[in-house]
Chain A
Amino acid sequence: MAEGKHKKVAYYPGCALEGTGHAYNRSTKAVGKKLGLDLVELENWNCCGAMEVKNVDPKIQTYLSARNLSIAEDMGFDTVMAPCNGCYHNLKKAEYDLEHDGKSVEVNARLSSKAGHTTYEAGKVETIHALDWIKDSVGEEGITERVKNSLKGLKVANYYGCMYTRPRHIFPEKDKGPGSESTSKPHFMDDLLAAAGAENVEYPLKTACCGGAHSLSDSDTSTKLVLNLLETAEACGADVIATECPTCHTGLEMHQVRAEKVLGRKTNVKVLYFTQLLGMAMGLSPNEVGVNENFSDSRDLIKEKGLA
């Protein structure tokens, strides 16, 4: 991997990382620091609309994302890194729509000029996920070099959720053969955790859906979907599910509790952000990567595996 790529990128944390996903924010920053990578937060960013605004109007969602991209451009960046799948997906989707759909271009131009900021045009800024960020900057070798507490013996199910790979057309750089990410069988997180010593289990539900869009408005459906994810992870022998999105992560944690309380189905598999696992492997303490901010209590497992 080209050492030096993404050394300094614009950082778009998104709303969730300021709230329930704070542990992801903390661990992403801590890992970046360890790896010598600079994150410069977008100034005065706004919410990208998550999975909600598009249901009121998809073009407004495009505008919300485009405003953030225009800020990156104004700040002189050509790359923005978003750790949340929702944000990542929406910025990618805006990029796609602004390249292919005249109506989106028109609405974005109109709203941007009324709002008095730069109108974002497709092709100026590339959006990457936290996984691309680490994979393309230091890569597996960079991780292996820095491992202090190997994740050896830790069995991990890597869970990517929906928005990181679907729909395919908004991710033109994926499915491009060796070295690129796959939309049907993503592996970037697997690769990085393996480089830190983890034993990845063959998990067939990597890109299955947790029902996050209706986590609260149709909780019974979400609980069923999450329970399936958890039980399958256990059946595959996983100690922990590694996540790379605050919505997926919180969904798993919440409905794990709900499945136990409402359906009487208890599961013991833990849920940790991949950045928390990488951070601890590189010698950061559980507190430094926000383990105590997770709903899922994995302290015993961390002790048992000698990561604390």
Chain B
Amino acid sequence: MPIHEKSLIRPENLVEHEELVIDGVDVSGHWSTFIEGRSVPDYNEDLQEEIAALGGGENIHRCWQCGSCTNACTVNAINPDFNPRFWIYLIRMGLEEELVRDREIIWQCVSCNKCTYACPRDVNPEGVMKATAHWLELKGYTETKPSMVFDEEFSHQVFETGKIEEAKVLQKFFKRTNQPLTQPWLIQLVSGLVKRFPVFYLMKLGFATVFHPRTRNWDRSRDAIKEYVDERNAEIHKALKLDAKGAD
């Protein structure tokens, strides 16, 4: 069974009396600290299955909570609240409400695969992070995060044409996330290059706008992929009971 998670004790669940005397003994301050009793009435017993229904989450049931993933994690080293083992625990326990508290950081997984490298149980925690981020969006707990916007723009182009055009992906990404293309560091980056080799740079831009790279005879691949995506989306909606919302 999973190790009990220390971080479940959040600051707001700690109660400390500033002045408390019990049987004539003064136990004010730290002496009186206790954890607020609580019960969780709203388990989502299907949570693990919902995550497993999403691409990457299939092996979550194998986790034995060793913590190797969190220990190896790139993002955890920057932000200790980013804790794959903990989230896997919450999902397996069906603690939806606890999981949703971290909705603003789960998407930050950088797919470095250090966790998957370290995991002794072939859980693929990296995939679980992506599945969980996706789940949060599908359930409406978060808006579409910038990384998903990027993934969508990128994938859309690959599905449509077989190739990507970096400039076009960037343009759409910046537009959808409301970021100006005039950020000082971007300007310095590009102008440095233009100064050194203007012809090449202009050529690059020119090529990209005149000859859009694409794979020939891609139509049939495109249609096959689209059909598959639609089918998968229907399956996912069913597994997450998205269509049944408000039906009962």
Asked if chains A and B come from one complex, the reply is yes
A31 located at the interface, meaning its Cβ lies under 8 Å from any Cβ of chain B in the complex: no
CB contacts under 8 Å to A, within B195-248, are 196-197, 200, 204, 208, 213, 215-218, 220-221, 223-225, 227-229, 232
State the Cβ distance, B121 to closest chain A Cβ, in Å.
13
Q: Is the CB of A107 within 8 A of B228?
A: yes
State the Cβ distance, B198 to closest chain A Cβ, in Å.
11
| Separation of A15 and B232 alpha carbons in the complex (Å) | 27
B136 located at the interface, meaning its Cβ lies under 8 Å from any Cβ of chain A in the complex: no
Residues in chain B near residue A44, CB distance under 8 A: 215-217
| Separation of A183 and B113 alpha carbons in the complex (Å) | 12
A33 located at the interface, meaning its Cβ lies under 8 Å from any Cβ of chain B in the complex: no
Q: Is the CB of A212 within 8 A of B150?
A: no
Query: Which B-chain residue is minimally distant from A48 (CB atoms)?
Result: B158
Q: Is the CB of A114 within 8 A of B224?
A: yes
State the Cβ distance, B39 to closest chain A Cβ, in Å.
36
Query: Which B-chain residue is minimally distant from A255 (CB atoms)?
Result: B185
B112 located at the interface, meaning its Cβ lies under 8 Å from any Cβ of chain A in the complex: yes
Contact with A along B129-156 (1 / 0, CB 8 A): 0100010000000000111111110110
Q: Is the CB of B228 within 8 A of A60?
A: yes
Q: Is the CB of B150 within 8 A of A217?
A: yes
Specify which of A163, A166, A260 lies most central, judged by the most chain B CB atoms within 10 Å of its CB. A166
Residues in chain B near residue A214, CB distance under 8 A: 108, 110, 147
Query: Which B-chain residue is minimally distant from A113 (CB atoms)?
Result: B224
Q: Is the CB of A218 within 8 A of B146?
A: yes
State the Cβ distance, A41 to closest chain B Cβ, in Å.
13
Q: Is the CB of A297 within 8 A of B185?
A: no
B173 located at the interface, meaning its Cβ lies under 8 Å from any Cβ of chain A in the complex: yes
Q: Is the CB of A115 within 8 A of B224?
A: yes
Residues in chain A near residue B94, CB distance under 8 A: none
| Separation of A115 and B226 alpha carbons in the complex (Å) | 11
State the Cβ distance, B227 to closest chain A Cβ, in Å.
7
Q: Is the CB of A19 within 8 A of B166?
A: yes
State the Cβ distance, A130 to closest chain B Cβ, in Å.
20
Contact count band on A: 35 or more
Q: Is the CB of B158 within 8 A of A217?
A: no
Contact with A along B1-35 (1 / 0, CB 8 A): 00000000000000000000000000000000000
Q: Is the CB of A51 within 8 A of B56?
A: no
| Separation of A162 and B150 alpha carbons in the complex (Å) | 20
Q: Decide: A58 near B112, CB < 8 A? Known: A114-B227, A167-B117.
A: no
Of A22, A64, A292, the residue contacting B158 (CB under 8 A) is: A64
Residues in chain A near residue B220, CB distance under 8 A: 114-116
| Separation of A298 and B208 alpha carbons in the complex (Å) | 26
| Separation of A305 and B225 alpha carbons in the complex (Å) | 51
A211 located at the interface, meaning its Cβ lies under 8 Å from any Cβ of chain B in the complex: yes
Q: Is the CB of A209 within 8 A of B74?
A: yes
CB contacts under 8 Å to B, within A11-68, are 15-16, 18-20, 22, 44-47, 49-60, 63-64, 67
Q: Is the CB of B74 within 8 A of A52?
A: no
B61 located at the interface, meaning its Cβ lies under 8 Å from any Cβ of chain A in the complex: no
A224 located at the interface, meaning its Cβ lies under 8 Å from any Cβ of chain B in the complex: yes
B188 located at the interface, meaning its Cβ lies under 8 Å from any Cβ of chain A in the complex: yes
Contact with A along B111-135 (1 / 0, CB 8 A): 1111011000010000100100010
Of A46, A54, A212, A222, the residue contacting B55 (CB under 8 A) is: A54
CB contacts under 8 Å to B, within A211-263, are 211-214, 216-218, 221-222, 224-225, 253-254, 257-258, 260-262
Residues in chain B near residue A292, CB distance under 8 A: 196-197, 200
CB contacts under 8 Å to A, within B147-183, are 147-152, 154-155, 158-159, 162-167, 170, 173-174, 177
Q: Is the CB of B116 within 8 A of A167?
A: yes
Interface residues of chain B, those whose CB is within 8 Å of chain A, are: 55-56, 74-75, 78, 108, 110-114, 116-117, 122, 127, 130, 134, 145-152, 154-155, 158-159, 162-167, 170, 173-174, 177, 184-185, 188-189, 192-193, 196-197, 200, 204, 208, 213, 215-218, 220-221, 223-225, 227-229, 232
List 12 additional A-B contacts (Cβ < 8 Å) besides A115-B220, A162-B111, A163-B113: A52-B151, A52-B155, A52-B158, A57-B55, A60-B228, A110-B228, A115-B221, A216-B146, A217-B149, A221-B110, A257-B192, A293-B193
A-B contact list, 23 entries, CB within 8 Å: A15-B165, A16-B166, A46-B215, A46-B218, A47-B158, A47-B163, A52-B150, A53-B151, A53-B154, A55-B56, A55-B151, A60-B155, A63-B225, A107-B228, A114-B223, A114-B227, A115-B221, A162-B114, A167-B117, A213-B111, A217-B150, A253-B189, A261-B185
